[in-house]
Structures are given as structure tokens and as C-alpha cells.
Amino acid sequence: MAAMERKLPLLQVLAGPRQVGKTMAASQVEKRLGWPSVVASADAALPHPPEWIETQWRLARAKTASARTRVLLVLDEIQNVPGWSEVVKRLWDEEVANGGKVRPLLLGSSALLVQRGLTESLAGRFFLHRCAHWSWPECRAAFAWTLDQWIYFGGYPGAAALVEEEAVWKRYVNDSLIETVLARDVLQMQPITKPTLLRHLFALAAHFPAQMFSYNKMLGQLTDAGNTVTLANYLRLLETAFLASGLELFSKGQGRKRGSSPKLVLWNNALVSATVLKTFEQAFADGSWWGRLVENAVGAHLLNGLQGSAWGVTYWRNAAEEVDFVVSQGAQDWALEVKSGRGGKVSGMAAFRKRYPKAKAWLVGATGIKLEEFFSRPATEWFQ
């Protein structure tokens, strides 16, 4: 709120996944400021033209004339408007030059489209606030969930009221969340020559959470397959929509090792549980599957909490030995091993630390940091 009231303001941008409370947060800002406001959403089946932004902005300017005060302008799902950043840049520069009183708050659900617009046209004019999927402490406080419930149902607050009817919950997450993001966000990022392949790639990631897959192995699993370059590009698109990431192999001094077999991690466990057929009871009773959910939840906690160029989240493997996650910041590296109860996994912690003796280590789970404690704290606190 203080950011909106500064004498020399910046454009305020709130970016994050769909259905995690960005619109609610904007509404709370609106109420606390008490200013006149104009609120509009570009979330429509067909994209709004650039003139739509100018229309909303002029409506806000009209209110400043009548109210003789600042006016809050909230534009939701701004990334859906073609050329949005150029229009916003022109209008914002006019606002600053003329001492105008319109204070914009831009909301977006596609990291790629939002970041592309900010860096290409609005450099130096904005402040980015990142909004993540809900953590366990947030779901515990709002819905009295246990940790096991959060591990299975994930962190979408809008779906929480439906968890007592799992079949209904699954349909809601699939139809209102996954399909909406794929159709309105991912497929609008750039021309997709094989949309069926992209959907199948997401389904593959959801059925094999926290697992490593070579691109060639993916091609063998998928119908309508393209090539490894196409798969890598589509996986990056899923990441920018906060759906799934393909973590790359850690290689010190070389950055991420391009072309390595990615480790598939979903950003929210709801995306896994809604896609597979297992119920909560069946998932919990299946030790191997539950271990995958726990490991994916750890990866999702890292991805949601360590966003930005300062952080790197990868994995490490050498033959049969593996380290579940490697977190990097500057010259410092941390190796994380998740004690999830999943069998068949050979710890690579000793081998990793022998190769990288300056790296620090965290054990998460039964013999290390308790899961309740690990998920109760922001990810950044573990890597100070």
C-alpha cells in the first residue's frame, strides 16, 4: 500500500499463478487506500484490443477530475492484451509528465508475457511483486488443513471448499484451473504448432512428479511427438505459466547443463492429485507414490519461494547416485536430500560433497528437518 502512495511512484505489478488471490489482494489494497477506483479484467475468451487499456485509463483520469484525488486503476490479466506494455508505457509517461494522479496496479498470470513486456518497454518504471501458490501455513490458518492434506490437495484456495467431495474437486481443478491456464495463458504466449503435444507433456509431468526423464524417453511416452527441442521449449512455457518445471542437472562453473535429462516438478501438488486417479486415502497408503508427492512438494516449495535471477534450483546425479535438489545463490550451493520414504533411491550426498566440498547440506524429512518445520518457513530462510 505504501508503494501506491509514494510521491515518485512506480508502476506496481503483481504476477503469479491463477487463483492464488491476486485479485483479492488488489481488492484489499483498494479498500485500505479508500481512493476512487477503476477495476477491469482482460480475462476474456477473445483478447481485448490495446484501446481497451486506454479506455480504462481515461475512465480513471475522469475520476481524478471529479474527485480531485488519486485514483487506483487495477488492470487484471494484463498479459492477454496484445502490445499491452507499449500502451502502458505511453500512458504512464504522460501521467508522470503531467503530474497525474492515476496509480496503476497491473495483475498478470503469465511470467513470460508479463516479464517480456516489463523488460522490453517498461524498464526502470515498475516494481514487481511475486505472488506464489499458497504454502502450508497459509492453508492451515485459512482451512485448518493438516500437512498431509496440503501435500495432497496443494495450495489453491479457491478449490479448498470442495476437498470433501474429491471427484468434484478434481473436476474443478482440471476444468477451471489447468484447462484455463493451458488455453488462455500457455497457448497465447507464442504460436504453438503442436498443442496436443503440449497438453500430453503436462499430463506426463503430472503422472511422474519429481522424476527425471530424458527427452528421448519423453518422445517414446508421448503421442504426436515432435523433437527434443520442441519438448524443451514447451516445458519452459509450462514453467512460465507456473505449472511445471524441468529442473536441469547441476554443473558448477558451467551454469545449468543444457540438454540434460530434466527432473519434472509441478509447482502445486493439486496439479498432480487432480490429474491422477488416486484418492487421498489411496495416495497416502501407497508409500512410493506418497514419497513422490512429498518430494514434489519440497521442489514446489523451493520454486515458489526462490523465484528470480538470484536463485537457481537444479538437481544432481552421477550414475545411480543422486541429490534431489541443489539450490544455488551466487557462489554458495546447498544440496537437499528428501527423506520421503520412497525406496529404490541411492543417496548421492556423500559423492556430491566430495566433488563440491564447499557446498552445504540439508536433510529434509524423517532423519533431518521435520517436514512440518521445513514447510512452515519461507524457503529463503533455509539458505541464509
Q: What is the chain's pLDDT, residue by residue, as a tens digit (384 residues)? A: 555 666 657 889 999 998 899 999 999 999 999 999 999 999 887 889 999 999 999 999 999 877 678 999 999 999 889 888 999 999 999 999 888 889 999 999 877 667 777 777 788 888 889 899 999 999 999 999 999 999 999 999 999 999 999 999 999 999 999 998 998 878 776 778 888 889 999 999 999 999 999 888 888 887 666 688 889 999 999 998 899 999 999 988 654 455 579 999 999 999 999 999 999 999 999 999 999 999 999 999 999 999 888 999 999 999 889 999 999 999 999 999 998 765 556 689 999 999 999 999 999 998 899 999 999 999 999 998
Decide which of 101, 130, 159 is a domain's last residue. Answer: 130
124 and 144 together in one domain: no
Q: Does residue 107 share a domain with residue 191?
A: no
Q: Please check whether residues 209 and 337 belong to one and the same domain.
A: yes
**Residue bearing cell 527425471:** 212
Q: What is the dihedral of CA 265, 266, 267, 269, to 10 degrees?
A: -120
Q: How far is CA 138 from the centre of its chain?
A: 16
Residue 253, pLDDT score: 64
Within this chain, do residues 219 and 334 fall inside the same structural domain, yes or no? yes
Domain final position from 102, 130, 158 = 130
**Amino acid type, 169:** W
Helix (H) or strand (E) holding 244: strand 244-247
Q: At which residue does the C-alpha cell 488462455 appear?
A: 184
Smallest CA-to-CA distance from 112 within 200, 186, 21 is with 186
Question: Same domain for 142 and 112?
Answer: no
Residue 199 and residue 197: Cα distance in Å, rounded?
Answer: 5
Pair (224, 259) in one structural domain: yes
pLDDT of residue 341: 64
pLDDT for position 56: 97
Q: Which residues pair with 16 in a beta bridge?
A: none
| Residue 73 and residue 107 in contact, taking contact as beta carbons nearer than 8 Å | no
- Partner residues linked to 264 by β-bridges: 211, 246
Helices (H), 43-110: 51-67, 84-97
Half-sphere exposure of 181 (CA within 13 A, CB side): 26
Per DSSP, 382 falls in state G
Task: Count the Cβ atoms, other than its own, within 10 Å of residue 194.
Answer: 16
Looking at the structure, do residues 103 and 228 belong to the same domain, yes or no?
no
Main-chain dihedrals φ then ψ at residue 318, nearest 5 degrees = -140, 105
pLDDT confidence of residue 255: 47
Q: Are residues 225 and 119 in the same domain?
A: no
- Please tell me the predicted confidence (pLDDT) of residue 367: 83
Enclosing domain of residue 58: 2-130
Q: What's the grid cell of residue 290?
A: 506418497
Q: Cα separation of 245 and 63, whole Å?
A: 43
Residues 57 and 120 in one domain: yes
Give me the number of domains the chain comprises: 2
Mark whether 118 and 46 lie in a shared domain: yes
Return the amino acid letter for 29: V
Please calculate the CA angle 136-140-146 and round it to the nearest 5 degrees. Answer: 85
> The pTM is what?
0.89
DSSP 8-state class, residue 184: I
Instruction: Give burial (CB, 10 Å; 0-12/13-18/19+) of 69.
Output: exposed
Q: Which residues contact 309 (CB under 8 A, 6 or more apart)?
A: none
> Which of 69, 98, 130 lies at the terminal end of a domain, its last residue?
130
CATH number of the domain at 16, please: 3.40.50.300
Tell me: do 223 and 307 sit in the same domain.
Answer: yes
β-pair partners for 39: 74
The answer on 85 and 20 residing in a single domain is: yes
